[in-house]
Structure 1
């Protein structure tokens, strides 16, 4: 059989194919994703589950005139392949390669940028309402929503508006029962009942045919038209939830049957009203370890690591080199174990996640003390509000969340936590540059967006031992909320403490003090979080070039250790702040403001992230691009003190 996928260079190349040929394209597309992503790494299971949906939509619609919106975007690899990026797939998530999610800067077929979930329906309503008012070229609008995105509140806000306006859009609900982990909540249970009950799959069609055959009613039933039929059938079959919100419901459709998906979408577009097409799919379809491994298999293969698949099957695990030292633990795992220890010490401690149990390390608490664990789904606002309610009753809730995802709950942080001075702890994983997931996931802004808020304490550990101490300090703090940031990936490798201790809030620590006779009065480096390790390494380089440097760990960005900052400024010609966050409003700004309030500010050099969104790629490459490396910091210091040199 001749290969078809190599001839698909744009969506329109699918339009003349038969159903059988489209099924062949889907099979080839799935094999290509397994082979490619298995070698280079990337999002995996969700893409395998969306193959037939992508083929069906692009075979019917005329992209980009017709708008296909992919929620989250980690299910959009098939879409990227079918829209002219097939040969670039091996570069996805790599530095200067294809973006990990949809990007409006990458292709005219990527209608919206999508790195955070639950946004596609809102975009779809806005796009179609603009079309209805004559703005831009008219066309069909379809949003593909899946992988847990319907647990997000903003999706329901858009569903409500579309139903009220009668906006003629189609939502393809790609329902695989999963986010990264299994979906949670009452709506998820509703979808499960519908998806997993084979008697309901064709119940709507059975109801329609039965009503049409009634001797005294059939003719009248047909005359009332499709809207009446859809509403009436909802009383006997699934979909009443949608019907009550003025949406037509079609389902459940086999999402891996190209012919069935095409037929359903074609009918939905013809209805010219809000329609949801409920497709049942399997996350990891076509890859046995994911498809046959149950929920555990689907969760494990949400993403594939580079080199994890060979010849369509999991590659054998590589043995560690003989005599190799054990790697340092991951910060996420250190936090998860420390939180479990805190929960065992204090029954008031509870953990909250927004659909990221393993990603935040809360799976450790979930397995050991499940009654002390909450998963609210992809609903960060509710995660914070839940924490507020728990805190008001005397609990000590810890909201474990990625730095970039906490942005979605900013109003709740301001209005509900900080204003009321509630003892909520925000454990912000993935602070700083996270690598391959790119600008939608870089934790670049939390220092700046938190520092301006009253009543909150901000802290960041320099290593895994300090993370354990800081979590203990945060839970012991009675004066209000605490936000604790730490990076993704491997920690420094220092021993963990047997027992954590409380760090006095607002105090820093001098780690390396150069004597004045060695030139130590010239430069002081003040690091925050991962900036401390960079500062220490830069100090070693500067020492080799005859510049002795003092290095301190600020530990807190708010309240800042004003005494330590004043001492460093008074005793050194140049004060350098080092942080893995945006400079605008960040830690360095806090140091400058603190010194400026007490008199003329000394010479300050701020090292941090630039005022732009940073691309995706390996963290080492990104740090080099933005100058967040010991070598670049040392070069800037040498230039600032008049000894311009380039370090190799």
Structure 2
């Protein structure tokens, strides 16, 4: 034990992200995990330093998840040293902690492309590598997936180890406990490694977090004997304790002998130092031989080895690329991007800006604070997304009205429903992709009872580098089919603020859906307004009144800015065979997906509209355009009489790979040129 501690102290801590690729001779010698097996323990410790430094360099080049990856360097090395992947199955939960895994499994030289179009994905993905055993992005899935693998292997008589790595934050998701319960029932051979860093994205909270803290603070651990048996003893880092107190303290730590995992039926070992390579090798080599469901509890430091991240693990959960230095910026001047020449001149949006554009999460945070100051019935709930949803100020100023329920989307929705029965007005701040996990509760517990709950749906639409697992492109479809739901889609920051207010003031279940990132720079006006429910706005009519074609361009949400530019291009198009523009374009900010402004649709058709196009950053199947089609075909008398041509512009029936948001829009035909092309096809 003394030699293990001595060896582990060789690890380095860095303070600066390197801009030049570091010298990593040991790491460069690894092309597959099997190359690790020829290393000595001392070399593995040095490899951890090299790998951590390489991760720092790569994060500076590409951005991405940061702190969690630094925290599992030693664990990743130990797992790949001891197991025979990909025959043995290593299942990562969430994927925020899988960068080191990617580096050691043949993707070292591609790590700089991570989260970039056609580069590595931000999360494990089966299509990317045989070593990525299960595609992840949402948390709390690893034990369920690993259990399925273990049972299938047992059925086929294949003796392979299945190891699931789950963080303490992901363990708060109920799905993880459902899987643990079933693993015990099935008596499955399953190794679960709990990476306890007291963090998910925000700090971990709740009774489970306190339970883990008690296990740590006891100063003792359940060690594993050479025979694989649990042995209660003092942790190595606590050996300075007065030995005379040891027996008394041993009797005072029943939480170790009767901890939660053991109560469920798992064989429990831990907690162990997750940065001590020799200790990890010893413990995991023994644990993987123990039959039945086993949980090894390790404690790590999020951001380990990078001093700023260790001090601020929340701020360094993920980082952007390092800014380009002056010399680099000069070297890029005059370069021409390799984009296609547009067919027609596309005007740039003329949007006045008097200050930097706000993120939509900041708009939501501002609304929360403003409204809470005026209405003491407002309560706000988040499933572990305080920072991402813009709720830090609200939590600080209104702590008794802020509820972070950890990674438990189902619980978050039903908690809001219960609150609403008691006369308060809860707002659930949730990412679109995570609301999918609380769908049954939204239908059964909120909408069916028509309770007064507002959903602030962030990260709607395409989200860029996080890719398909995090894209919020299904919410229009799964929300608008639910009775009693109102769905608003603001065009910009100002409208987002006022639609939040409108939906909050409405007595019933509502949703405001807005995207990731910054808006257009629109200034938020005060005081808060209440818009008419289901009322759209014709924002502009471009082109000649006598044009033979009259197009109604119905834009939903923040696609309105794109619609404006596309409309200007179409209305001003005098290229090729057209001596003068032959189309008048009515640009409509639909504002509401449910209810639709059907009165305006009737009016537009009666005024001679010959073509109708819908535009949304959502799947075309089942989306807002589908809602328009349903009305026109089933209810509109004006449509039946005049039959204007209709097309829906959105995302085709496929998952969109990661890349920048601009690249994703172009890939889907949702950039200005893509929209113009589709409108031209409609008009022709």
Is residue 581 of structure 1 aligned with residue 581 of structure 2? no
Q: Tell me, yes or no, if the aligned pair for 1:234 and 1:240 is still in contact at 8 Å.
A: no
d(CA) in 2 for partners of 1:125, 1:399: 32
1:357-436 equivalences in 2 (<5 Å):
357-436=386-465
Describe the superposition over 1:471-518 as per-residue Cα deviations: whole angstroms up to 9, x where unpaired: 11111111x200110011111112211111111111111111247634
Is residue 554 of structure 1 aligned with residue 613 of structure 2? no
Partner residue of 1:83? 105
Partner residue of 1:350? 379
Partner residue of 1:244? 263
Is residue 300 of structure 1 aligned with residue 315 of structure 2? yes
Task: Give, in angstroms, the shift of residue 248 of structure 1.
Answer: 0.7
Task: Give, in angstroms, the shift of residue 634 of structure 1.
Answer: 1.8
Match of 1:498 among 518, 526, 548: 526
TM-aligned CA distance change 1:107 to 1:233, over 3 Å: farther
Is residue 48 of structure 1 aligned with residue 90 of structure 2? no
Partner residue of 2:509? 481
1:99-118 equivalences in 2 (<5 Å):
99-118=121-140
After TM superposition, the structure 1 stretch with the greater mean CA deviation from structure 2, 261-270 or 180-189, is 261-270
Task: Give, in angstroms, the shift of residue 236 of structure 1.
Answer: 6.8
> What TM-score do you get using the length of structure 1 for normalisation?
0.90
Q: Tell me, yes or no, if the aligned pair for 1:339 and 1:471 is still in contact at 8 Å.
A: no
Instruction: Tell me the C-alpha RMSD between the 2 structures.
Output: 2.2
After TM superposition, the structure 1 stretch with the greater mean CA deviation from structure 2, 466-475 or 519-528, is 519-528
Describe the superposition over 1:516-550 as per-residue Cα deviations: whole angstroms up to 9, x where unpaired: 63428511101110121111111111122123211
d(CA) in 2 for partners of 1:115, 1:519: 50
Task: Give, in angstroms, the shift of residue 638 of structure 1.
Answer: 2.0
Partner SS state of residue 69, structure 1 = strand
TM-aligned CA distance change 1:203 to 1:98, over 3 Å: closer
Match of 2:355 among 326, 338, 347: 326
TM-aligned CA distance change 1:2 to 1:272, over 3 Å: same
Task: Give, in angstroms, the shift of residue 309 of structure 1.
Answer: 11
d(CA) in 2 for partners of 1:339, 1:369: 10
Partner residue of 1:638? 680
Number of matched pairs: 602
Partner residue of 1:98? 120
Task: Give, in angstroms, the shift of residue 562 of structure 1.
Answer: 0.8
Q: Tell me, yes or no, if the aligned pair for 1:469 and 1:503 is still in contact at 8 Å.
A: yes
Task: Give, in angstroms, the shift of residue 22 of structure 1.
Answer: 1.2
Describe the superposition over 1:342-374 as per-residue Cα deviations: whole angstroms up to 9, x where unpaired: 111111111100001010112221011111100
Task: Give, in angstroms, the shift of residue 555 of structure 1.
Answer: 0.9
1:205-216 equivalences in 2 (<5 Å):
208=231
Task: Give, in angstroms, the shift of residue 57 of structure 1.
Answer: 0.4
Note the residue ranges of structure 2 that are not aligned, 5 or more in a row: 1-22, 235-250, 326-352, 574-580
d(CA) in 2 for partners of 1:2, 1:421: 60
Task: Give, in angstroms, the shift of residue 340 of structure 1.
Answer: 1.2
> What TM-score do you get using the length of structure 2 for normalisation?
0.85
Q: Tell me, yes or no, if the aligned pair for 1:507 and 1:560 is still in contact at 8 Å.
A: yes
Task: Give, in angstroms, the shift of residue 210 of structure 1.
Answer: 8.3
TM-aligned CA distance change 1:210 to 1:514, over 3 Å: closer
d(CA) in 2 for partners of 1:57, 1:341: 50
Partner residue of 2:559? 531
1:616-627 equivalences in 2 (<5 Å):
616-627=658-669
Is residue 188 of structure 1 aligned with residue 209 of structure 2? yes
d(CA) in 2 for partners of 1:422, 1:531: 30
d(CA) in 2 for partners of 1:349, 1:498: 19
d(CA) in 2 for partners of 1:307, 1:537: 32
d(CA) in 2 for partners of 1:116, 1:239: 30
